[in-house]
Chains A and B, each alone.
Chain A
Amino acid sequence: MAEEQLYFEDVEVGMALPPLHKTPSNTLLFLYSAVTWNPQRIHYDKDYSLREGYRDVIVHGPLRGAFLSQLMTRWIGDGGTLKKLSYTNRDIAYVNEPLICKGTVTRKWIADGTGYVECEIWVENAHGVRLTPGSAVVVLPRKEAQ
């Protein structure tokens, strides 16, 4: 993106990633169901969702995964590379619920001249509950290698 490139040397263990705010609407859930050709009713049919025991339609697990991938790619910029992403959908996220994707740096190391950074990442709701905990590994460009 147009923002300044993040370098391996800029990163310290313990630092927080810039949070990413998302409030997935019915429309976004519809678009995600459509683009993934996913006809599962819990994502668009509230009456049906109530019958399955939910209180509203729910946000797709992989959409929360996509938000987490965006948390990482936005932070590392075009010069960085996402190497690993993992997440577990531990709790439900409902439509129109404000979600925040967050992360902290847990480790950084150099292997074969390449700078790797590992982060703990998660999606939390307005109550601070971590709905989707996960982790990521990225490669960042090194200033020394320039």
Chain B
Amino acid sequence: MASASLLTDEIRAWIGREAGPWTIEVTPRDVKRFAVATDDLNPLYFDEEYARKSRYGGLLAPPLFYMAPLTDPVPESQLRPDGLPYEGKFPIPPTPLPRLMDGGTEIEFFTPIRVGDTLTGRSKIVDIYQKDGRTGPLIFVVRETTYTNQRGEIVLVEKGTAILR
């Protein structure tokens, strides 16, 4: 049985809403931390001599390193009961569905992320829709985010889907 639509005009008005810009400093320490935390120990990410001899001529960051600064540090008093900030880097429209999940991601990579880069991210909500899940209605929030580097090159474009349930 189909659920009634939870998508009010107010929620739909979030389509087109932009976020950012924010910047990410790609430091050697953060890159090594990310490589360790994802159990991805490719020497290109932390062995300078190895990386210098590679075709890149220097250290790279793992492709998904840009996900590292997912959440801005906010005081605990400003976190919701589930631990997420009320106002994150990627604002989500207020809905009756309290639980947030990562629904998936499509990424196109244009140029590698290099250690020493400064990335700038800008995002925009491109779609919001509702589907019926096994446990009730789900709201999908689709966001397109573009990252550029300090040379003005597009590094990657990500289309990410957040699921509210």
Contacts and interface: CB of A to CB of B under 8 A. Distances in A.
A50 interface: no
Interface string B38-77: 1110111000000000111000001110011111110010
Contact of A52 (B33, B63, B84, B99): B99
A53 B68 CA distance: 27
A47 to B, nearest CB: 12
A66 B82 contact: no
A66 B40 contact: yes
B104 interface: yes
Contact of A69 (B63, B70, B84, B106): B63
Contact of A66 (B38, B56, B112): B38
Contacts of A73: 40, 42, 62-63
B99 A37 contact: no
A35 B34 contact: yes
Contacts of B27: none
Contact of A88 (B62, B76, B103): B103
A142 to B, nearest CB: 14
A61 B101 contact: yes
B108 A70 contact: no
Of the candidates B43, B44, B105, the one having the most CB atoms from chain A within 10 angstroms of its own CB is B105
Given A79-B55, A89-B104, A31 B109 contact: no
B46 to A, nearest CB: 13
A146 interface: no
Interface residues of A, number: 43
Chain B, interface size category, equals: 35 or more
Contacts of B99: 52
A1 B64 contact: no
Contacts of B54: 78
A31 B67 contact: no
Nearest to A25: B39
A126 interface: no
B70 A87 contact: no
B37 A39 contact: no
B6 interface: no
B7 interface: no
Interface of B: 30, 33-34, 36-40, 42-44, 54-56, 62-64, 67-73, 76, 79, 82-85, 99-109, 112, 135, 161
Given A35-B30, A82-B63, A132-B104, 16 more contacts: A34-B37, A35-B34, A35-B37, A36-B69, A37-B72, A42-B82, A61-B101, A66-B67, A69-B40, A70-B38, A78-B55, A84-B106, A86-B106, A87-B105, A89-B102, A89-B103
